[in-house]
Every structure is written in C-alpha cells, then in structure tokens.
Structure 1
Amino acid sequence: MRISFFLFFFILLQSLPSLGASSQADDAFHRRDYVHAFTLYEQAALDGEASAQFMLGVLYENGWGTDKNPEKALDWYMKAAEQGHPDSLYNLGVMHFYGNGIPKDRNQGIAYYEEALTVQSSKAAEALGRMHLYGENGKKDPQKASFYLWMATEWGNTQSLYLLAHMYLKGIGVKQDEYAGILMLIEAANKGVQKARDDIQRFERDNASTFQNYLKRKYNHTEPPYSWLAK
C-alpha cells in the first residue's frame, strides 16, 4: 500500500509540467497568441497528451503560430486518435473526405467518422447525417440521415437538432409531424442555434402571428417557447 501511494504521487508529479504547459497553451490560444500556444502545445504533445496533440494538429492545419502543413497536422491527429481522441478522429475524417491538404479519399473519411462514433463524437455523427441528407457521397438516404442526426442530437449536437426539425416539418426521411418539428425548432433556438431563431422570427413576420399563438391555436400548446428572448 505504501509503495502504491508513493508511486501515485511520483506519476502525478511527473505529469504536472505537461498539464501546466497544456493549460497555459489553452490560455495563449484563446488570446490568439498562436506562436506561444504552439510552443506550449508541442511540449505537452511530445509528452503524449492527446488534447495537446490534437491542438498541435489544428495549428498545423490552419497555419496558426507555424507554417501551414497538412501532413504534420495529419500526423498529430493520428497520434491523438490512437488514444481515442474524438475530435482528432473527426478531423481526420474531414481531411480525408474533403481532401483538405491531402488526396481526397471519401471512403477513408467515412471510416474515420465511423470510428469516431465509438467514442461518441457528435460532430462525426452529424457529418454522417449531413452526408446522407445531402447526398455528399453520391446518393441521398434521408432515413440514414435521420438515424445519424438523432445520434448526434442525443450527444448534445444542436445543429443536428435544427436539421431534424426541418426533416420533421417537411417529412424528409421521417413521418411528417409539424408539431414535433416546431418543438425541435424552438429547442434548437433556445440552445443558441441562430438559424432556428431566424426561422421563427421569419415565420412570425410572414404570418403576422407569434409562434406561441400559432401553437396554442393549432395544438393547444401553452408553454412559452422563447426562453432566449428573456435572457
């Protein structure tokens, strides 16, 4: 027990420099001091920290704080992905699917998206949903789109909730259900999706009626829907 106790603190102390560098790197990144952020992320990335490896990939991919280098971005994303980092797997999917700085390989991109689902990447689920909804891989499949968009929504992706709202309003890939679609649109608006807010305000302008009055009149729904307006 005593040996385990000291071993724990030895490991903790060994990790502190990396953790400190990563935290300082985040601060520098948010201040847009990308050169300093790059140096600190590199230190933590070389120590094996997945989140720092991911951020180093972001800096290389965009040319922030260093020369733009998609191949190095790919390499760091892959290092983080090997540790199951969700956003790294998603970014690998994006780079391959769209050919961002590397040869386009949509099958490889989809494979990375699907691997990202195993670590609950809502971004990857939304990407697959959009792909099937808009036919980005050559064929539209609205039913598969709804499956992936529901998955992304359950993992907290508000953009997917907005897309689902319109699918229910129009009956795309799902049974048309205006009431469910409206409630999803309201929920998306309340969670900060600007397009949802714009849609609601456009409806009210075009129909000279509030969404609340429409819901009450047609569906006997009386809950105030506009929580974002009260903020």
Structure 2
Amino acid sequence: MGRIAATLAVIALLFSVGSAWADDNSEANELFVGAVKLVKSADEIEDDPIEKAAVLEEALGKLNEIIDNYPSSDLAVKLISGQSVGNITFEGIRDAAIRVRRKADARPIFEMTLKLAEQGLAGAQFNVGEIYYKGYDVPRSYTEAVKWWRKAAEQGHAGGKTSLGLMYWKGLGVPQDIAETLKLYREAAEQGHAGAKTGLGEIYFFGFHGVPEDIAEGLKLWREAAEQGHVDAQLWLGTIYQVGTKVPKNKAEAIRWYRKAAEQGHYYAKERLKKLEAK
C-alpha cells in the first residue's frame, strides 16, 4: 500500500507543477494514474481472486495501451525497458496479473471438488484435505485438512488414513498421538499404500517415540514401498546403505536405490548418485 501511495504522490506532483513530462505525455500519464489506482484497488481485494485478477488485468491493459499508443512517451520508454516508475514496473504488474488469474481459474475446480466431497466421495474428501494442508488457492488450515482426511479415512481411503496418521504424528490440527498414527499407518499399509509403508518403516527402523526398534520390519516395509516406486523409501534405502546406518555399508545397493529415486527427478538422489559413482 505504501508504494502505491508514493507512486500516486509522484504523479500528482508532476501534474501540479506542470512539468514538461506531464504536459508532453498527458494521455500516457492519465492512463498510468488509472493503472496505479487499479493496482491499489487490487491490493485491497483479499477474498475474491476472480475480481482481483480482473482489476489487475485492467491495470495491465492500461500499461499496454501506453506502450502501444504512446511508444515515444517517457512512460512507455520506462515501461518497455523494465524501469520502475514510482515502484511500479510493467513486469511486476504482468506477473501479478498472471499469478492471480491462475488462482482465480483454479477456484471453480476447488469448488467442484468441495461439492463432491460434501456429497461423500472419499477421493474428493482426500483432495480437499490436501488442498487445505498445502494452502492451494485457499488459506492453509490444518484443522480443515484433518476434518476432510478423517472423513476419507472413515470410508476406508488409504491415502486419507496415511495423511491423517501424519497429522497425528506431527501434532498438526490434532494433539500428537503416536498410537493413532501407528493404527492408521498399519491399516493403510495393509491396503498396500506405499506412503504408509514408508512412514511405518521409519517408525520401526529408528524406534521413534518409544516404539520398539525393529530394523528387519522397517527394511521390509521400505523395500515394499520402494519397489512400488515411492521415492522417499528409495531415498531412505540409498542413504542407510551409503552411510551404513544399522546395516552394513553397501555401495551397490545405495547406487541402486539412489538411481531409482534419481530417475523420478529427486534432486538429492541425483547429487548423491553422482558422487557415489565418481568414487
């Protein structure tokens, strides 16, 4: 808000003193003042991405009009060259308009998913939980994420059970409860969920939160998940065999699992694989 007010003040001053810049470029200046006011208006819109996108696009339209219709004006030159005019740049407004438009376009998808979730579709309930957990196009809310993942879990959705188990593990949106995490992870793992197997494998392998250590069970779960393509399980196996954590060092096994994770695009797996193969 401060930068917008400062920009308006600069423009007002230019008009009030009758500067040559203002006189010689009056049409462009008026368009720019209009764009700045629209940006200020957009800054005040918080809960309606569709309206905000429309206002920013209108502001961008005015900047484009300056460039297209008054290319020799001082403002057009500054906008084209990427210079800041009272802390406003063409690229900044353009990028903001694109970002908010993407958010606005995603809104109907969320509303449709939410409607399906409210109708009881477990997959949609899981997706709504994911949206709230990550804050995609809605304010992040762990409480809402837990609510929707619980609904999905109660219908037997393995992903819902796994995600809800993670929330109990971390104490996000619910009080921490490791026993509940174990229960949910075990149920989802029995359904074949690779993420649940990976999480359960961590608990058993390291003996987290007082759970008795069971290296063999942890390895078994990680291997199952890794064979299913779960990149975190692949990374865990690569790491413990590289470092020799509770298992003998095994360069070949480390390379094998790092390569599988790297093939899925995992950055750290790629870096570790490169270093191991160079030795």
Q: What's the TM-score bracket when you normalise by the shorter of the two chains?
A: 0.5 to 0.7
- The number of residues matched between the two structures is 176
Task: Tell me the SS of whatever aligns to 2:208.
Answer: coil
Displacement after TM superposition at 1:65 (Å)? 4.4
Aligned twin of 2:202: 130
1:19-77 per-position Cα deviation (integer Å, ceiling 9, x unaligned) = xxxxxxxxxxxx54454333211211122211111122223344544455444432321
**What residue in structure 1 maps to residue 158 of structure 2?**
86
Match of 1:180 in 2: 253
CA displacement 1:69-95 (0-9 Å, x = unmatched): 444432321221233222111111011
Which of 11, 24, 43 is the matching residue for 2:115? 43
Give distance in 1, aligned partners of 2:147 and 2:247: 40
Number of the residue aligned with 2:176? 104
Q: Which runs of 5+ in 1 are unaligned?
A: 1-30, 205-209, 212-231
Query: After the TM superposition, which residues 147-226 of structure 1 pair with which residues of structure 2 at under 5 Å, given as runs?
Result: 147-203=220-276, 210=278
Residue aligning to 2:131:
59
Q: Distance in 2 between matches of 1:66 and 1:200?
A: 38
- Counterpart in 1 of 2:191? 119
CA distance in structure 1 between the partners assigned to 2:146 and 2:128 by the alignment: 10
Change (3 A) 1:203 1:96: same
**Cα separation, 1, equivalents of 2:234 and 2:194:** 11
Q: Which amino acid aligns with 1:116?
A: A
C-alpha displacement of 1:187: 2.8
Matched with 1:95 is 167
Residues 61 and 178 (structure 1 numbering): CA distance in 2 closer, same or farther, change over 3 Å? closer
Equivalent residues of 2:132, 2:139 under 8 A apart: yes
Q: Is the 8 A contact 2:205 2:218 kept in 1?
A: yes
Matched residue type, 2:273: I
CA distance in 2, matches of 1:143, 1:112: 21
Preserved CA contact (<8 Å) 1:142 1:172: no
CA gap 1:143/1:59 in 2 versus in 1, 3 angstroms = same
Residue aligning to 2:68: none
Tell me the TM-score normalized by structure 2.
Answer: 0.55
Residue in 1 that maps onto 2:6: none
Distance in 2 between residues matched to 1:117 and 1:94, nearest whole Å? 13
Q: Would you say the 8 A contact 2:103–2:137 is kept in 1?
A: no
What RMSD in Å do the two structures reach over aligned CA positions? 2.5
Q: Please give the per-residue CA displacement for 1:195-220, whole angstroms capped at 9, x wherever unaligned.
A: 1111133346xxxxx46xxxxxxxxx
Alpha-carbon offset, residue 175 of structure 1: 4.4
